[in-house]
Homo-oligomer: A and B are copies of this chain.
Amino acid sequence: MQSYTEENYLKIIYHLSVISNPVQTNAIAEKIQTKAASVTDMLKKLSDKELVDYIKYQGVTLTEKGKLTAINIVRKHRLWEVFLVEKLNFKWDEVHEVAEELEHIKSTLLVERLDEFLEFPKVDPHGDPIPDQHGNFANLSFIKLSKLKTNEKGTITGVSEHSSPFLKHLEKLGLTLGKRVEISEIIDFDGSVELLIDDKKLNISREVAKHILISK
């Protein structure tokens, strides 16, 4: 059994692995809001427990065991987010902090029953896929809205930025999951995107467009 802190390290390493593998000490330190020295200490500990492969000065990779643990935490986090939004009427920008706590509750019975209660959701309120109890993800294919070309259409199915200000912004613009959009123009000057949604025109910055995920 892992401690709350160990679980957090594993989760962060898991998320950072997607971007770069192996994961650097400083990257972890920044994400976890701690000092590099503390990270080094913890990596040694996780290595002793065979949850990560750690080479001094080189970085870490999750072992199979570590990866399964991490995915299980991600599973719990996302299921709780669905619960908060679907059942307790939380907004999609309000769920993260609470789910950060709920993801560490240990009972497997709880997780399986929650999954059932929520009718086995495949994605969380931000469109992120929810792994099953064996750690398998349904493979969803997303492309960034910023990669679409003029006149292309697609459905908003996810976001790659979870901060409250960003999500509130999208909400205000009506850019929520499931909405159908069409690119009407891409502005040369600043790369901003003009799109059609609910028959209305809308201009969003390139920065925003990069964090909206589309499926066709």
Contact = CB atoms under 8 A, between A and B. Distances in A.
By secondary structure, the A interface counts as helix
B101 A105 contact: yes
A114 B90 CA distance: 11
Contacts of A114: 88
A4 to B, nearest CB: 9
A19 interface: no
Nearest to A114: B88
B109 A94 contact: yes
A102 interface: yes
A60 B178 CA distance: 57
Contacts of A117: 87-88
A122 to B, nearest CB: 20
Contacts of A110: 84, 88, 98
B98 A105 contact: yes
Nearest to A105: B101
Contacts of A188: none
A106 interface: yes
A114 B80 CA distance: 13
Given A88-B113, A89-B113, A101 B97 contact: no
20 contacts: A84-B110, A87-B117, A88-B110, A88-B113, A88-B114, A88-B116, A88-B117, A89-B113, A90-B109, A90-B113, A94-B109, A97-B107, A98-B105, A98-B107, A98-B109, A98-B110, A101-B105, A101-B106, A101-B107, A102-B105
